Amino acid sequence: MANKPSIPKGTRDFGPSEMAKRNYIFDTIKQVYQLYGFQQIETPAMETLQTLMGKYGEEGDKLLFKVLNSGDFLSKYSEEELSTLKAQNPNKVAAQLCEKGLRYDLTVPFARYVVMHREELQLPFKRYQMQPVWRADRPQKGRYREFWQFDGDIVGSDSLLNEVELMQIIDTVFTRFGVRVQIKINNRKILTGIAEVIGAADKIVDITVAIDKLDKIGLDNVNQELREDGLTEEQIEKLQPIISLEGTNDEKLDTIADVLKDSETGLKGVEELRYILDTLSGKNSPLSALHSQLEFDLTLARGLNYYTGAIFEVKALDVQIGSITGGGRYDNLTGIFGMPGISGVGISFGVDRIYDVLNALDCYPKDATNGTQLLFINFGEKETAYCLPIVAKARQAGIRTEIFPDSSKMKKQMSYANAKQIPFVALAGENEIAQGKLTLKNMETGEQSLVTPEELIDSVL
């Protein structure tokens, strides 16, 4: 007996109902991006490892799915050579056996795209991109090995208005979804300033990676990780009141500005963050207030090494799940591909987690998940020939319409309509054909009426 088929852990199938919901998510985000002048691009599922490696930090590199060179590549190695390879550093082995990897995110491929197509682009360039990404992570609730991201980035501009617009995009998207969210915001320059004032400027990456885990592992474990990273007890002690900042956004900014008074970099971060928050709150301009909560969170660090300015993370308020959107400013990401000086800022919507949130809250509008609106019953060749022109007219009017392909028993055809939750069924037998009409049945109420083809279309619309 053949083994039952399965799919890899951390991946999922999506049937018609799920895809209707996912397309609602895609379409909503796409429409909002387009409102702000973003244009769509796509990049390959695979990138060269040279493009990917070293861009996500040591932890990120470990999560890259590496693709074995095609064909019988391993056949040219003897058993002795393979044993030697296995004993080497895994990254060195991967470099010899694999030249490509599945993309880890959409930002690094986008940076590569900008460098390769620079002469074709009008800066600032605003792009959106929705494609799957892959991470060799441990699957768990809300964390998948294959998942979709929906990114928006602006490159070629240093203006903080870009950060403001991205926050407005986030707010608009989740308002349209009907999901209450909290937007957490911080600035990597502030974190750099903190590292400077506690005398650990060379430990900025270790500090940010550790405090980024505060919500997940707690303060004691964060402190232990900092010790393991080489920070002294005195330095860790100086970090405690900073990590535990409380008060309004303005109060926290005032406090941290005083702490960072001797750090030019840190004060620059405070200035940038204050501008973004003040603009979004209406202090700098009469903007409409955001529906979302906006919080300055000093513990927000985001583990990726390439962020240099503002960083963002979005949490759903009514569902326990990880971050559903994140991003930030990266001042020189294209520099890793030989084109320094192009600044960028972007966000990434975690489509799979948003899907789980909308399912948990049942936030889908009814028409977003509806399929066929109208089914024509098949009584035979003569009746089908009568119905087909009317089917065509219904489709031309924008009605999602089917005609049952076989002249099966009425019970089977009506069961099909019920199973697909089709709201209207049209029937045309001898009597209807003789009058040039059809019987239209409302499947929700059970009401039936004799109508002309024009009346049928008006009734369904």
What is d(CA 297, CA 284) in angstroms, rounded to the nearest whole number? Answer: 21
Q: Is the dihedral of CA 414, 418, 420, 422 positive or negative?
A: positive
Q: 2 exposed, middle or buried (CB, 10 Å; 0-12, 13-18, 19+)?
A: exposed
pLDDT confidence bin for 72, thresholds 50/70/90: low
5-54 pLDDT, tens digit per residue, is 999 999 999 998 889 999 999 999 999 999 999 999 999 999 998 898 88
Rounded mean pLDDT of 393-406?
Answer: 95
The pLDDT confidence band at residue 335, using thresholds 50, 70 and 90, is confident
Q: Which of 172, 176, 158, 178 is nearest to 33 (CA)?
A: 172
Percent of the chain with pLDDT over 90: 57
Q: Is 39 helix (H, G, I), strand (E, B) or coil?
A: strand
Average pLDDT over residues 422-432: 95
Q: Which two tokens stand for residue 12?
A: 């999922």
Query: Which of 81-90, 189-198, 272-281, 375-384 has the lowest average pLDDT?
Result: 81-90
Lowest average pLDDT, out of 187-196, 282-291, 320-329, 367-376, goes to: 282-291
- Cα–Cα nearest to 47, from 124, 8, 99: 99
